[in-house]
Structure 1
């Protein structure tokens, strides 16, 4: 009867990957019976066990036979009567060496041996001294899914713990390691990211079964999800980002249902660095588009410029930051930088008097740009909705006839609704203001300009200094034709293309501006699709470097677009891959919401503590993260993996696209 039941149980899992553990144990029993120590993967017995950990006893012979047992390597725990139970195994991860009940006696023997300079030990003493003990973390259990006999299941706990003597421990072979690493990875859209690497040390690695195990990821795990890249610089974060971006391109070659937007602050995704280092764009010329502030000789790109006229509020702040970074600290310069221009949305909420003053303030700012040599499309400026109201026109300061007569005297010139006419008008008003000891009532009969207007006019017509001329160095960021690139980029993303913003030669404030502008555009686009039930299976992935600038740990405003990405991104099919050196510099709210992690070398225990506090799966691998400094050596956790996979990421080295 028992054999019939066993046959039925085995037949029910014949298509389930868990059968591999049965095949493994059958082979191990065969090796044991014929004394084939070379292929026997037996490691030892269990000395103590709990739901969270296991202490195993092993000896030098077993460890040497399996090629060593490095810290962080995987072991499997199986019942001693494996042939009488349904196939399953508990996964262990080696944590540390620990004491055995005989440790004190062993140390005493060593002491006596060295004290007496014993040249050789008898066979019985040798047998005693080679035994040791390892402490292992219990990661969970692999078994056949009860609801789907063909599917492998993994749980983060174990269903039962019996007496220690009822278990045996083995080092898995290549086939079983492949099951452990890749068995639960979603079958669709799989890509290989590297190979299993359980230790940094390469000595004797040829005897390790783990060296030949490919590590696979499912691109489904990254669609609409948040992915973190942590680790010190030059240790492979950007390389893994390229692998993920390339994997998404390959996985969606037919469907083109995922658009990717990469904020390339170093220009490494858009441009080939040398003859042998092919960029993401060069490898995928048909599906990648580059937008650049400054076109590079060998990289086809579209123009990425700011229209400093149309985006007055944000661009005025950028100019203030650029001046500050350039070391301009004169009082009239810092006063100019302190002025805040209203946004179109704010102007829509103003009453008529407030709006007239707001329009005039922007007109003075435009006059500054005109004097600095920033080209303008005056026809387009005249049509801006927020700059036209009642009798106030975009290029006319609209001073009353009475006030103009006070300024010009008997020969009042005609109004000239142009940038040049505005500059001339403001020049005359500023002359009159100064001729009357900077008393507006004496000059104009009433208060015409507000305090911020005067600060801008002092910059436009300084008593000394260069004034607007000092802005001419920033004309490289400006184009009067800029403004439509946002619409074009969104269209490309909807077509499943990868758009790379080459910000390699941009100032931090410029990078921030483009990041804010396009992030908001992406969020609005996906939100609109969601409301109209048009998301379908379409996603947009965003790639951010130096993420601590966008997601600071103590941000007071949790309503900005980046916080909304963290909280609502998945709902709107917006995924993120963000990179930075330290987990402690990132918003806790984002970390809690992050599903995928790639962690390289971290230099301090405070950083590993911040990581473990957010993601408990990293508990137990902190020491390895602190010690290992090999480029590309990562600890990976994805939605498909319930435990950390140590992986050596492959080098991104695609062929140049045609």
Structure 2
């Protein structure tokens, strides 16, 4: 009973004390909530003041008359224009209702706490425009017989002059800046490329941004995903420039530095458009340098870059650059040239002893074991590549005998264990090599080994041929030559011409020989068609002359395919410069396409069948960038039927997936395949003097706002820039590239 009473008393006491405990807890919670609210209010007020601090009453240039989701109209007085040193076409304005004399809280989603970003795109006719035109006209007539201008106080009264000083600007609405609360509770300067709302019955003050505000506007970087290189930092590429006739350059006002994120270019497509001497090459060099310097931030941030150099200005020192981009490695201390830069060219250069000569051995190497299919394939790799180069150079049009040679395939079988298969392949290879020598390709030896390739039965049939006159004599002489173990290349070529006669002349005896061969070899013919097709090139003297121009790409001493060497250097993260200044234009195109195919196929193979690191993570292909200077000389013409099957279109459409970035520069944007421009992320647009070219670019982003400026202003380096992380286009004067930093 005593124990039971103690329990009841405990319950009674708890019932009495609980309200007091709960009240204390509620008071404590209210106190904490109040502290939290005060802290949040303090942060938001500080953020509001930060937003208000961006604005300067002295930079107020007028009133926002009207606005919608795309356009705005601004009222401006001449005094305000003069006070802020002009308002050129394309310049930025900000409109806001922020009270500059009071603290501003941020959380309200209203224009009271936002900066609306505008761009001047033209004039706006005020409602009283007709009346003001009449005033101007009358004042102008009164001034025609005087040296005074029509706005002189003697010609117009102050009230009228003041009214005439008002004008209107038509502006493009670019979006909204506001202080937005981040995950960590702090407020950060943020941007949205639209309006969340607008009010037709409310006015806004309009300011010209300069200094810090202008810098934060033009250098604002939107989030485009997590970079594999982490915080790579930003690099200056130039300064803001709105007009060719700018008053002066003062970085504290409207000519602030413009920076880019180098990672914007990695695995992306970049376009440089402009007339010759407009600064395209200069901008490309600055881009290449910015990407190269990523490795200074992180040893793993090595991006392979390949520059096709049509004029030699990237590979060779020049006065304009104070050297060449080959010197970019000097910007990072302790970096050796051979480890970072690789140059390729058709010819050696006295100032570049480490240059790799871009020639292949069209003859291939001599296999040590003809029974090993893999070893034979490796030895003949350059021969097969050379055959492909010749086939490409011959094109689709031509005489039947040339096309037959073009289409003759030399294929290494998977199984070469049979002696007959070995002899057949050796015979085809030596016949092809004999044709190369006849076309002027330097041979790796003085004689050609033909031991055992042309049987006694064949030679006997040739000696007993039933032709008449010179044909009979030539075929018989050929049989004699083919009976030797080794002969001179000249004699071998004569023998091949005789063999062609034997295989094609009526009643020569070839048909009987081939029938007997088939009977004794289980129906297999002596020639599967390859020999006959190859020999067609000897039908007429012009045959071997049709590809003599390719001898410049041949070296009997070459041991590797330069396309595969380029791929290896790129995958090591090197800056590769391919000097094409001394090459034939058609051969340059063919070489560029072959290299790009090699890059594409290797990157694709790594994507489709990736390797795995020690932690079991998939290893993506290494990033690679390809620069096409004078791209209209390399890219196929827009509008062709097979555009989408070219390596250029495939790289443009699929390259990002395989981590291949494409950078192209051209004077003719309209010549670029739409498939490429539609997949372009970064843009640098300089002067273009043709309406059609300007119209081609006006289809993309907001370049239409600058169409008149692009066509009329030809100052070198004055570009309209938009990169992956830029939410709007920025007019920039690109810095002059210098090979060596001061």
Would you say same fold, with TM above 0.5? Answer: yes
**Offset at 1:90?**
0.9
Q: Of 692, 701, 708, which aligns to 1:623? A: 708
Structure 2: tracts of 5 or more residues without a match:
1-35, 107-112, 144-149, 224-230, 330-336, 365-381, 465-475, 515-525, 613-617
Q: Which moved more, 1:42-51 or 1:538-547?
A: 538-547
The equivalent residue for 2:233 is 189
User: Which residue does the alignment assign to 1:565?
Assistant: 651
Find the counterpart in structure 1 of residue 552 from structure 2: 476
1:126 paired residue among 161, 174, 177:
161
Does residue 160 of the first structure (1) align with residue 197 of the second (2)? yes
Greater shift in the superposed pair: 440-449 or 598-607: 440-449
The answer to whether residue 726 in structure 2 is matched with residue 641 in structure 1 is yes
Equivalent-residue separation in structure 2 for 1:525 and 1:467 (angstroms): 35
Unaligned segments of structure 1, at least 5 residues: 29-39, 383-393
Give the superposition deviation at 1:74.
0.3
Root-mean-square deviation over aligned CA pairs: 3.9
Cα separation, 2, equivalents of 1:189 and 1:56: 37
Q: Within 1, Cα distance between the matches of 2:507 and 2:180?
A: 83
Map of 1:76-95 to 2, 5 A cutoff?
A: 76-79=94-97, 81=99, 83=102, 84=104, 86=106, 87-95=113-121
- CA distance in 1 between partners of 2:681 and 2:211 (Å): 28
How far apart are 1:491 and its partner, in Å? Answer: 3.0
* 1:112-140 residue CA offsets vs partner (Å, 9 max, x unmatched): 11223373322111111101111000011
Equivalent residue number for residue 22 of structure 1: 52
Shift of 1:473: 6.0
Q: Provide, for residues 176-231 of structure 1, a one-character-per-residue CA deviation record: whole Å limited to 9, x for no partner.
A: 000001122676331111111111223x2347966531110001111111111111
Counterpart selection for 2:279 from 218, 223, 236: 236
* CA deviation string 1:554-581 (max 9, x = no partner): 2425344333322222222211111122
Assess if the C-alpha contact under 8 Å between 1:41 and 1:170 holds in 2: yes
TM-aligned CA deviation for residue 486 of structure 1: 3.7
Which residue of 2 is the match for residue 100 of structure 1? Answer: 126
Q: Is the 8 A contact 1:219 1:251 kept in 2?
A: yes
Residues in 2 aligned to 1:427 and 1:94: alpha-carbon distance in whole angstroms: 77
Checking the alignment, whether the CA contact within 8 Å between 1:319 and 1:337 is kept in structure 2 is no
Mark the CA change 1:140 to 1:514 in structure 2 (over 3 Å): closer, same or farther: same
Partner Cα separation in structure 1 for residue 38 and residue 165 of structure 2: 39
Aligned residues: 616
- Identify the match of residue 216 of structure 2 among 159, 170, 179: 179
Aligned twin of 2:441 = 374
Partner of 1:624, secondary structure, is helix
Give the alignment partner of residue 304 of structure 2, picking from 259, 265, 288: 259
Determine the structure 2 residue equivalent to 1:43.
61
Task: Return the match for 1:214 from 254, 257, 276.
Answer: 257
CA distance in structure 2 between the aligned counterparts of 1:543 and 1:579, rounded to whole angstroms: 8
Q: How has the CA–CA distance of structure 1 residues 232 and 435 changed in structure 2, closer, same or farther, with 3 Å as cutoff?
A: same
- Which sits farther off after the overlay, 207-216 or 312-321? 312-321
Cα displacement string for residues 9-57 of structure 1 (whole angstroms, at most 9, x for unaligned residues): 562485x7x86542123x42xxxxxxxxxxx111100122111111111
CA 1:122–1:532 in structure 2 vs 1: closer, same or farther (change >3 Å)?
A: same
Task: For residues 596-619 of structure 1, give each alpha carbon's deviation from its aligned partner in whole angstroms, at most 9, with x where no partner exists.
Answer: 111111222322222232x23323
Shift of the alpha carbon at 1:589?
1.6
Contact 1:77 1:92 in 2 (8 A): yes
C-alpha separation in 1, matches of 2:68 and 2:321: 52
Equivalent residue for 1:430, pick from 486, 492, 497: 497
Distance 2:85 2:432 in 1: 72
| 1:300-323 alpha-carbon deviations (Å, 9 max, x no partner) | 312211222345566456557879
Give me the whole-angstrom Cα distance separating, in 2, the residues matched to 1:450 and 1:273: 55
Relative distance call for 1:579 and 1:210 in structure 2 (3 A) is farther
Structure 1 residues 11 and 335: CA distance shift in structure 2, 3 A: same
Q: Which residue of 2 aligns with 1:574?
A: 660
2:404·2:534 contact (CA, 8 Å) conserved in 1?
Answer: no
Alpha-carbon shift at residue 537 of structure 1 (Å): 8.6
Deviation at 1:378, TM superposition (A): 7.4
Report whether the alignment pairs 1:58 with 2:76: yes
DSSP-derived class of the 1:267 partner: coil
> Structure 1 residue 298 and structure 2 residue 351: aligned?
yes
TM-aligned CA distance change 1:281 to 1:64, over 3 Å = same
**Aligned 8 A contact 2:481 2:491 in 1:** no
C-alpha spacing 1:348/1:266, structure 2 compared with 1 (3 Å): farther
Partner Cα distance (1:146, 1:627) in 2: 43
* 3-state SS of 1:609 partner: helix
Q: How many angstroms apart in 2 are the aligned matches of 1:440 and 1:516?
A: 46
TM-score normalised by L of structure 2: 0.74
After TM superposition, give the deviation of residue 432 of structure 1 in Å: 6.4
- Asked whether the 8 Å contact 1:364–1:453 carries over to 2, the reply is yes
Which residue pairs with 1:405 in the alignment?
460
CA change 1:96–1:74 in 2 (3 A) is same
Q: State the 1:239 CA deviation.
A: 0.7
User: Deviation of residue 475 (structure 1)?
Assistant: 3.1
User: What's the secondary structure of 1:238's corresponding residue?
Assistant: helix
Structure 2 SS opposite 1:205: coil
Give how far 1:233 is off.
1.6
Verify the 8 A CA contact 1:89 1:141 in the aligned structure 2. yes
| Structure with max Cα Rg | 2
Confirm or deny that 1:524 pairs with 2:601: yes
CA separation of 1:189/1:157 partners in 2, compared to 1, >3 Å: closer, same or farther? Answer: same
1:587 to 673, 685, 698: 673
Given that residues 65 and 203 in structure 2 are in contact (C-alpha distance below 8 angstroms), is that contact kept between their aligned partners in structure 1? no
CA 1:294 to 1:260, structure 2 compared with 1: closer, same or farther past 3 Å? same
For residues 318 and 616 of structure 1, the distance between their equivalents in structure 2, rounded to whole angstroms, comes to 40
Question: Structure 1 residues 466 and 159, CA, compared in 2 at 3 Å: closer, same or farther?
Answer: closer
Give distance in 1, aligned partners of 2:423 and 2:551.
28
Q: In the aligned structure 2, how far is the partner of 1:632 from the partner of 1:426? A: 58
Once residues 397 and 128 of structure 1 are traced to their aligned partners in structure 2, the CA distance between those partners, rounded to angstroms, is 104
1:539 aligns to 2:623 (yes or no) = yes
- The answer to whether the 8 Å contact 2:637/2:672 transfers is yes
Q: State whether residues 500 and 536 of structure 2, in contact with CA within 8 Å, keep that contact through their aligned partners in structure 1.
A: no
Cα gap change, 1:432/1:125 in structure 2, threshold over 3 Å: closer, same or farther? closer
Aligned equivalents of 2:460, 2:538: Cα separation in 1: 22
CA contact 1:45–1:165 (8 Å) conserved in 2: no
Query: Aligned in 2, Cα 1:404/1:174: closer, same or farther, shift over 3 Å?
Result: same
1:136-192: CA deviations, max 9, x gaps?
A: 000111123444445432211111101354211000121100000112267633111
Question: C-alpha distance in 1, partners of 2:201/2:414?
Answer: 74
